[in-house]
A and B are shown apart, each in its own frame.
Chain A
Amino acid sequence: MLKFILKRLALLPLVLFGVTALLFSCLQFLSPEMRAALYVKDPRQLSQLDAVIEKYGLRKPLPVQYGIWLKQVAHGDLGYSETAKMPVADAIRSFFPATFELTVVTFLPIMVVGVFFGVLSAVYRDKLLDHITRFVAITGYSLPSFVLGLGLLMVFYGRLHLFPPGRYTLDTDMLVHADSFRHWTGLLTLDCLLNGQWHAAADVAEHMVLPAATLLYISVALLLRITRSSMLEELTKDYVRTARAKGLPERAIIRKHALANALIPVVTLSSLLFIGLLGGVVITETVFDFPGIGRWGVQAAQQLDIPGVLGSTMLAAFLFVIANLVSDVLYAVVDPRIRVGD
């Protein structure tokens, strides 16, 4: 197992190199003028377009630019992101914890609700519970996140004056930026608790309720559907029939036999969901004014902020490799017949 994990981790630099090389080769389709758009945003700056191209070396051949960038990376410098207005490494350190916190808060409920109701839906097939679950899954899957997000915002924040958008209130803002506040983990809720600031922790948590609820509803739908269909498939297999014929209690059949097998596709899907959430959820972050990594990544792409795009893509690739590795390991945990590395 360890050998397998190390082998996969050893491939990581190669994956990152491949991703960035691919991105740079795509850039050759953009002229220097197009790439200067990152710095020339106002018609008042048009007359200095050439000066901008010269200053940022945008006329240099792309292999040369890639070489310069790789050299920088080798020295631990990922470049400067114009959209984040900070070095790329700082941008990742700034934006990622918020997204990670939101992901952690959202992912556990997604798993619990998705698997639990997916199994129940399969067990009580065509009963009222199944119908309700399927309705929830279909609406959740088909409802655009910005509609749901704005709807929730209007009801809870607009009408009930609860769960405001943003990251925190001004009071918490002052508190977390005070010299006495220690950032132990980078996860704000946890840091507030570790600093003994219960009110601030509650404030930060309150700001995460609506984005988390939106993500939960949108994401749980798919998991619910997959769990249900996987479970249904297992429940019709011969070994389940045999178990029933042997007189095993239904609960034991479901828990000990069918569920373990039904979880394989669920593990795959949940790892993809986890990556999706960690990579940032642009729409939700935009609607709730939540400063996560997805919003930055999209802004960087829209404005052709090359270091920003490279940084966020490398992070996404890294997460993808790690999540795949974790799901491979989990397969073996869920089903001991699967031997990792085979």
Chain B
Amino acid sequence: MHRIFLCGALLSASLAPAARAAGPVAHPDTYTYATISDADSMDPAWAYDSASDLIILNVYDTLWTFSGASTKIMTPLIATKIPSRANGLISADGRTYTIPIRKGVKFHDGTPLTPEDVRYSLLRFMLLDRAAGPSSLLLEPLLGYPSTRDDSDKMLPHVWEDAQRAVTVRGDDVILRLPRPYAPLVSILASWAPIVCEKWSIAHGDWDGTEATWEKFNNSAKEQSPLFEREDGSGPFKLVRWDRRTQEFLLERFDGYWRAPAKIKYVVVKGVNEFGTRKLMLLNGDADTIYADRPLWSQLQGLPGVQIIDDLPTMENDPIVFFTFKINTVGNPYVRSGRLDGDGIPSDFFNDIDVRKGFAYAFDYKGFIDDVLHGKGRQATGSIPASMPGHNPRQKTYRFDLKKAEEHFRKAFGGQVWDKGFHFTIAYNTGNIPRETICQIIKRNVESLNPKFKIDIRAVEWPTFLDAQKDSKLPIFVLGWNADYPDPHNFAFPLLHSQGDYPPYQHFKDAEIDRLVEQARLETDPEARRRLYYKLQAREYELVPHLNIVDDLRYRTQRSWVHGWVNNPIFPDAPYGSYFYTIYKK
């Protein structure tokens, strides 16, 4: 498949522009997005992938959403006001949120939306809690724990009671009661738990909203959900069809939308795996925008009738080079001998701060950005990306400096690393060009310091990668992180906290970092939070648990006749996919 991609890229690069550059707009009523992703489910409580979330964003409404391109300013949707301390809708102790619900909103089947629908939607989002799903995003702030089940998959006691306490209806308001303050909650609710129609869902065989059936509903199979391929949301578009055979979604404008109807009548989101085909569809006007990542950027330059919008900020930190502090050396080919004898590395190799700093100084950040990203990006200064509040642009960071790298390697393990050398393997998942290049840069630069330093690179398929990572067998691994919601906690916790998503695999734990992450999560004063996150990034710089490489900038390719598109980096699949409500063709 890789060969097809390369060949397609080369052949399409050689294609002289024969596009329908001028003339009338092709398919004026229909906006088509050709992408590579294949969606998982249309159930908002199940979906946790950008392809699914893109459709959900456009067919359901959340309580509020982000305003235009902003990830800080929000606009009410189903709620009439966004709770804050200033408007009194967040209590003084930060634990009670009052959400006034808008009247006159209708679902796609004409049913009026009520506060009960909001309550049902929030409970449903939490209580479905499928394995590896998004429910923890609400469970944690509202119930105080990330899952409804324990490690042995048994149901926790009091979940139902806790959920009943957390979400209630009082008149036209929905009241949220939190076990403790949770600063990112408003951001989370802007992206997650969109409002579904309770009556329609129950009528179609979904959870009936009662205590008697919630355990059966919990972690149920994806395909059992009536919301798997159908919907009754209140968003600007109706889902006409999800054709899983052709990997195509057809959305139609909802003329009964409570705001003015969307400008475009139909939206088609279509899976087209081959880049050459996508590019030709764009040139022919059969696609209005296509998915094309940075390595393909040069092939889309100068095409007639095609517009490139570049330098778009992202809400991700990718790629990241993670160090494993305690490597499992048993039967582990990645560490060879498993000892510091010149032909391997010991389990605690990356536990030595000088080893980590040696690697940090040996990486050519600028070279990577210039060569792989065509100069589009800035070196990251910490785990929190530049587009996020709490990011410290003046945070000291590591620069490419082989002399300093050598200094640290000479100090590592009391000089033994320099004298004996090492040999190990870095793995990356197959098919990811930037991650592969990162491995090559590390190998080239570190090996240039000392002939006794040897690093092998191995491309592994995702299942093999998962297997090795689960057992902490990878000394270094390269992955990334995309934001669930635009709050620094969504980077600080998964990347740095000892109970986050990566540190348990790395066996990294620092009490000070944990304290700062927890404190910042509880703190609702923006200035105090900023200070905490600045401290956190300084501590991260000191300990180097991983290497943050780049604050990436993306680009979007679209036909010039597309108007009204707004880049909001928190929207799923941004900047290729988007909120279609504002888009029109002219």
CB-CB < 8 A to A47: which residues of B? 494, 500-501, 504
B511 CB–A CB distance under 8 Å? no
Contact: A165 with B280, CB < 8 Å? yes
Does A166 sit at the interface, judged by CB under 8 A?
Answer: yes
Stretch at the interface among B85-93, B176-184, B243-251: B243-251
B48, A49: Cβ atoms under 8 Å?
A: no
Decide: B463 and A304 in contact? CB cutoff 8 A. Answer: yes
With A49-B470, A157-B284, A304-B463 given, is the CB distance from A287 to B48 under 8 Å? no
Contact: A146 with B3, CB < 8 Å?
yes
CB distance B501 to A43 under 8 Å? yes
> Interface range on chain B: under 10, 10 to 19, 20 to 34, or 35 or more?
35 or more
A31 to chain B, nearest CB (A): 5
> Does residue B352 face the partner (Cβ distance < 8 Å to A)?
no
Q: A80 on the interface (CB 8 Å rule)?
A: yes
Contact of A43 among B153, B248, B480 (CB under 8 A): B480
Check B492 for interface membership: any CB of A closer than 8 A.
Answer: no
A48 touches B132 (CB 8 A): yes
A30 part of interface (Cβ distance < 8 Å)? yes
Are B250 and A173 within 8 A (Cβ)? yes
CB pair B132 A39 closer than 8 Å? yes
Query: Contact at B246–A52, with CB atoms within 8 Å?
Result: no
A128 adjacent to chain B (CB < 8 Å): no
**Distance to closest chain B CB from A181 (angstroms):** 13
CA distance A30 to B221 in the complex (A): 23
- Known A-B contacts A158-B284, A170-B268; A39 and B131 likewise in contact (beta carbons under 8 Å): yes
Instruction: Kindly report which residue of chain B lies nearest to residue A54, judged by CB atoms.
Output: B153
Give per-residue flags for A236-270: 1 if the beta carbon is below 8 A from chain B beta carbons, else 0: 00000000000000000000000000000000000
Contacts of A50 in B (CB 8 A): 151
> Quick one: CB contact mask for A132-176 with B, threshold 8 Å, 1 for yes?
000000000000101100110110011101001111001001000
B49 close to A (CB within 8 Å): yes
Q: Which of A28-54 contact B (CB under 8 A)?
A: 30-31, 33-37, 39-52, 54
Q: Is the interface of A mostly helix, strand, loop or mixed?
A: helix
Given A34-B467, A50-B151, A54-B153: A146 and B7 interface contact (C-beta under 8 Å): yes
Distance (whole angstroms) from the CB of B375 to the closest CB of chain A: 26
User: Is B144 interfacial (CB-CB < 8 Å)?
Assistant: no
Which of A51, A157, A164 has the most chain B CB within a 10 Å cutoff? A51
- B residues 448-493 with Cβ under 8 Å of A? 462-464, 466-467, 469-471, 479-482, 484
Question: How far apart sit A158 and B38, CA to CA, in the bound complex (Å)?
Answer: 25
With A45-B132, A47-B504, A154-B15 as given contacts, are A35 and B268 in contact (CB-CB < 8 Å)? no
The answer on a CB contact under 8 Å between B467 and A33 is yes
Chain B residues in 8 Å Cβ range of A75: none
Tell whether A154 pairs with B151 under 8 Å between CB atoms, given A39-B132, A286-B4.
Answer: no
Instruction: List A contacts of B260 (CB < 8 A).
Output: none
Query: Which of A33, A150, A173 contacts B466, CB < 8 Å?
Result: A33
- Whether A85 pairs with B244 at a CB distance below 8 angstroms is yes
Contact string against B for A residues 50-72, beta-carbon threshold 8 Å, 1 for contact and 0 otherwise:
11101100000000000000000
User: Pick the contact of A44 from B149, B268, B482, B505 — CB < 8 Å?
Assistant: B482
Report the interface size class on chain A.
35 or more
Residue of A nearest to B271 (CB): A289
Residue A283 at the chain B interface, CB threshold 8 Å? yes
Docked Cα-Cα span, A85 to B49, in Å, equals: 14
| In the assembled complex, B165 has its CB within 8 A of some CB on chain A | no
Contact of A42 with B276 in the complex, beta carbons under 8 Å: no
A44 and B273 contacting across the interface, CB-CB below 8 Å: no
Interchain nearest-CB distance for A23 vs B (Å)? 16
- Chain A CB within 8 A of B277 CB: yes
- State how many angstroms separate the Cβ of A102 from the closest Cβ of chain B: 14
Contacts of A333 in B (CB 8 A): none
Taking CB as reference atom, which chain B residue is nearest A95? Answer: B245
Contact B48 A55 (CB under 8 A): no
Alpha-carbon distance between A40 and B277 when the two chains are bound, in angstroms: 29
Contact residues in B for A41 (Cβ distance below 8 Å): 49, 462
Q: Give Cα A68–Cα B104 distance, bound, in whole angstroms.
A: 51
Q: In the complex where A34-B463, A45-B48, A146-B8 touch, is A80 in contact with B274 (Cβ < 8 A)?
A: no
Q: Is the CB of A158 within 8 A of B268?
A: no
- A16 — which chain B residues lie within 8 A by C-beta? none
Establish whether residues B274 and A287, one from each chain, have CB atoms under 8 Å apart when the complex forms.
yes
Tell whether A195 is near chain B: CB-to-CB under 8 Å.
no
Does A43 contact B132, Cβ atoms closer than 8 Å?
no
Taking a contact as CB atoms under 8 Å apart, the answer to whether A170 and B30 are in contact is yes
Q: How far is the CB of B378 from chain A (nearest CB, A)?
A: 22
Contact of A30 among B281, B463, B481 (CB under 8 A): B463
- B464 adjacent to A34 (CB under 8 Å): yes
Q: Counting CB contacts under 8 A, is B212 at the interface?
A: no
Distance in angstroms between the alpha carbons of A289 and B287 in the assembled complex: 14
Query: Could you tell me the distance in whole angstroms from the C-beta of B436 to the nearest C-beta in chain A?
Result: 17
Residues of A within 8 A of B (CB): 30-31, 33-37, 39-52, 54-55, 80, 83-87, 94-95, 98, 144, 146-147, 150-151, 153-154, 157-159, 161, 164-167, 170, 173, 177, 283, 286-289, 291, 304
**Top 4 closest A-B pairs, CB basis?**
A34-B463, A37-B463, A45-B132, A51-B131
6 contacts between A and B (CB under 8 A): A43-B481, A51-B132, A161-B20, A166-B272, A173-B243, A291-B245
User: Given contacts A44-B481, A55-B219, A165-B277, could you give 14 more A-B pairs where the C-beta distance is less than 8 Å?
Assistant: A33-B466, A34-B464, A42-B482, A43-B479, A44-B501, A55-B130, A84-B244, A87-B223, A165-B272, A167-B246, A170-B250, A170-B266, A286-B4, A287-B274
